[in-house]
Structure 1
Amino acid sequence: MSSPRSRPRSSAAAPLDDEDLLSEILLRLPPLPSSLPRASLACKLWRRIVSDPRFLRRFREHHRRNPPLLGCFVQTLYTVHFEPTLEAPNRVPQTRFPFPIDTGGTVMILGCRHGLMLIFLWTRNQLLVWDPLTGDQHRLDIPPGFDKEETVINGAVLRAPEEANHFQVVLVGNSDIKLTQAVASVYSSETGLWSNLVWTLLPADDPHVPTMVYHDMCSVMVGNSLYWLLSGNWFGILEFNLDRQSLSVINVPVEIIDVGSCLLTVMQAEGGGLGFLFISENCIQLWKKKMV
């Protein structure tokens, strides 16, 4: 019998020769821009693993709940530019995401979701759907039925994970017939058409100060519904249900008298569900809607 000291020792590098084990190790690298490029420089085996499309899909799925913030898009009056937030070597150059068009006038970011940006080209009365990673862009004319004079609109863009080549745009705003009505229409890139308008009545205590969709706040998606804040002579929440293709109005849980002295926003509540945040001079209130 050999003594413990005389037993052959396995090589320390042996586990890294096991592709399955190595793949699991590399899968847990931080999801930063420099992680996989640096790993690919180690050797041919590592490069083959991290460049495999199946590994890349697993890497994205593994880190999808905690992605890094690479930067943000900042809106100015006439354009949109990317502002990186990370330091080197993970800093993404500002020129990596150049704004794709000369807008010719005022622009407004309506939302970002599923890798797409929705931008309102106010002067042209068009929507721009832009994929900053691929550079793909689609311009959509505002459909009939929306108030063209005030052009107080908001919207959301979305696409399913399995539908990388197709997207939907949900557009909401005031009716061009009655400002006491909110209207919505859905665009499908698959058909290239807008749906028929759906509408709901908006509270109007004062007909001279209409209730409108608040355009400086992006939509919130909870389950299969999208939500926007309503403001004017009445404050509430506008809901668009994607399954039923319907609009409805929800009362906010607090009385708002002077909007200039408070902050309010619609948000996704902890654990899911619709949340509402209200901040005034002397209190902070966080509400969650009960689903019945």
Structure 2
Amino acid sequence: MDWPGTEPHSPGNASTPHAEVLEVKSSLCGSIVRSMNSVSLPLASWSQITDDITWNILVLVSPHPVTIARIAAVCRTWRSIVRTSKFLRRLMEHHEVTPLMGFFTNVPSSDRFLPFDQHLGVVGVPRFTLPILYPDNRLPTLSTSHWEVLACRHGKVLLLGGAVPMLLVWDPITSHQTLTRTHSELAYVHGTVVCVAHHHHGNCHSSPWVVVWIVSTGREIKVRRWSSVTQACNIPQAQVWFDGLVDFRPSTLIGDVLYWHLTNNFLIAFDMAENLLHPIELPEAMPSLKFRRHVHVVPLDDDVLGLAVLNTSVLEIWSRVGGINEGSSWAMNYTIPLLSIMPIQDDHIINHHRPQGRIVCVMEDRKVILIRAADGVYEVDYQRKTSTKIMGETPRGTMFAYESFYIAGVAGVDEA
């Protein structure tokens, strides 16, 4: 996947922004003029036709904040267009993939947010600093290191923290925060946040969402949902008696089903439409549980449940034939020799009998995974069988990709 901002818009080329803007303006204006010259309408209609064509062209540009900022700098007319809620909605509807802003981590000794590309120069560094105090002071003061990131999805970040554990749903773009208490069981817990419109809508910043909270005791697993609309857990909890504990790996959303890994050789699937839990045994040919962090749930085409397994220097892609229903089975789809697409040292793998790399993030909307290697982090497109280095050395641990739309000056997104 080509990431905007690498070339030619990398920080090293920041000395030519005016040339880029003029080139963009010339190209797009030329397209408008050519389109106008190809039709014959009364003079009174030209103004409306020009506006329509301009809107249609601007919606096609990359939705990344850097690109939008450059478009806004071209002229007053374009700036007035891109800084409207209507344009933001149309941009969201047209682009299926949400811009990547960066990654949150749970490593307290480092920056908790790792920016991607140039976005922080446009969006602003303070937006991504974890909250220290909830606005109405219902929480004791918490330093940013006391929050644990549980999930990032649909423009929201789910945080766990406090002496009496609390869940905080935080939208860094709008700075909106919603606080709710957890339940008393705190042995092995996890959670995530999901937009109730399943991301097929115009604005995740204003759409209702639910917190999905999973608790495992070693004898049973249960799930509760807290709604932003009702401000309560008004949906009956799902429960299954099963000997398994929820793992540290983040959930993966595929269709209407959330998947978590357990500490044994099982997944737990939560069907949100049916409000049911389904334990799913992993294939027998899995790596040792000692290396379970090298196995992650991934989405395949048509909302098929898949697994990405980092097995020495080979990435295995598995699929679940028959879905989550009882009687379904796993099948190995294909393998990807990682040595052919990224620099993993084979001698290191052979000597230590374990992968040098580690799967640190699943980006479900993009259908890619991130693998940390010796020299940095690589985005691996497991369907196209390609990789791209996107970051240098990063702190160890899981990375939570934060994706969101942002346009400076749009009401409800940025009041500046």
Q: What range is the shorter-chain TM-score in?
A: 0.7 to 0.9
Does residue 1:277 correspond to 2:281, yes or no? no
Paired position in structure 1 for 2:4: none
Name the structure 2 match of 1:212: 245
Which sits farther off after the overlay, 78-87 or 262-271?
78-87
Deviation of the 1:255 alpha carbon: 4.2
Counterpart-to-counterpart distance in 2, 1:186 and 1:26:
39
Q: CA RMSD in A?
A: 2.9
User: Which residue number corresponds to residue 170 of structure 1?
Assistant: 212
Residue 76 of structure 1: how far off its partner (Å): 2.7
Separation (CA, whole Å) in 1 of partners of 2:209 and 2:316: 36
For residue 168 of structure 2, the aligned residue among 106, 114, 128 is 128
Q: State the SS of the aligned residue for 2:112.
A: strand
| TM-score (norm: length of structure 1) | 0.79
How is 1:137-152 mapped onto 2 (pairs within 5 angstroms)?
A: 137-144=177-184, 146=185, 148=186, 150=187, 152=188
Unaligned runs of at least 5 residues, structure 2:
1-28, 37-46, 133-140, 324-416
State how far apart, in whole Å, the 2-side matches of 1:107 and 1:290 are.
Answer: 39
Q: Which moved more, 1:110-119 or 1:80-89?
A: 80-89
Which structure 1 segments of 5+ residues have no match? 1-10, 204-210
- The answer to whether structure 1 residue 66 and structure 2 residue 97 are counterparts is yes
Larger displacement relative to structure 2 (15-24 or 234-243): 15-24
> Runs ≥4 in structure 1, deviation > 4 angstroms?
88-92
Looking at secondary structure, tell me which structure has more helix per residue: 2
Contact 2:194 2:209 in 1 (8 A): yes
Q: Which amino acid aligns with 1:68?
A: P
Aligned equivalent of 1:50: 82
Write the mapping of 1:7-46 to structure 2, written as runs, cut at 5 A: 14-15=33-34, 18-46=50-78
Determine if contact 1:112/1:157 at 8 Å carries over to the other structure.
yes
Which residue of 2 is the match for residue 157 of structure 1?
193
The Cα shift of 1:200 comes to 0.9
Deviation of 1:190 (Å): 1.8
Aligned residue in 1 for 2:318: 287
Q: Give the Å deviation of 1:218.
A: 1.2
| Aligned residue number for residue 265 of structure 2 | 235
Instruction: Give, in angstroms, the shift of residue 45 of structure 1.
Output: 2.7
**If the length of structure 2 is used for normalisation, what is the TM-score?**
0.57
Shift of 1:257: 6.6
Equivalent position amino acid for 1:223 in 2: G
Amino acid of the structure 1 residue aligned with 2:63: P
1:200/1:60 CA distance change after superposition, 3 Å: same
Give me the identity figure in percent.
25
1:146-200 Cα distance to aligned partner (Å, 9 max, x none): 3x3x3x111111122478253211111214xxx2111111111222222443211
Say if 1:100 and 1:135, in contact at 8 Å, map to a contact too. Answer: no
Closer, same or farther: CA 167–274 of 1 in aligned 2, 3 Å: same
Pick one of 93, 100, 113 that aligns with 2:131: 100
| 1:35, distance to aligned residue in structure 2 (A) | 2.5
Whole-angstrom distance in 2 between the partners of 1:39 and 1:282? 43
Q: In the alignment, is the contact (CA less than 8 A) between 1:130 and 1:136 conserved in 2?
A: yes
Q: Distance in 2 between matches of 1:173 and 1:89?
A: 36
